Amino acid sequence: MAGEIIGYGGSSMTGGVLAYSTTVNGSYTVIAGVLDLTPEKLQVTKVKRTAYDSPSYAMVMAPGMIDPGEIEFKGLMLKALTATLYAITVARTNYFWRIQLHDSDSTPSNWKCEGFICEFGTPMPIDDNVIIDVKICCTGLPIFAAGA
């Protein structure tokens, strides 16, 4: 198939892929193959609930808001698609992102989140492809679905 990243976006889907969509359950457009992935780290903030008349004189904490974090991604993509990813970055627009790992023949594992590209590294050319470094800042809780 012309214009495909061998081992990543082909019909066999043997590697992982990064895709985006305008809706969470919509049609996703594959844009890059996964070379390396650092999933987000959810952080729950600590809220101080201590009063000066606390009987134990200890800080009392409660769980607060959740910071959904960032997904760091190194990928291999066609040079022709670099302009698309760059345009998405400079438009500062939220999209729904899916990183499908293809760790199963039947149902692959995937991460989905709504977010925007907060970092876009300079593409490094390799023949007709480029290696990209991208960081997606999640704007809500990411969803992980384990493969079967």
- Per residue in 40-93, pLDDT (tens digit) is 888 999 998 887 777 777 888 899 999 999 998 888 888 888 888 999 999 999
Q: What is the pLDDT of residue 114?
A: 95
Rg (the chain; Cα; Å): 19
Furthest C-alpha separation in the chain: 72
Neighbours of 111 (CB within 10 A): 22
Q: Which one-letter amino acid corresponds to residue 22? A: T
Q: What is the pLDDT of residue 8?
A: 43
Q: Give the closest residue to 67 by CA, choosing from 113, 18, 21, 117.
A: 113
pTM as predicted: 0.78
Q: How far is CA 94 from the centre of its chain?
A: 12
Q: What is the pLDDT of residue 93?
A: 93
Q: What is the pLDDT of residue 117?
A: 95
Tokens at 116, concatenated: 């925007």
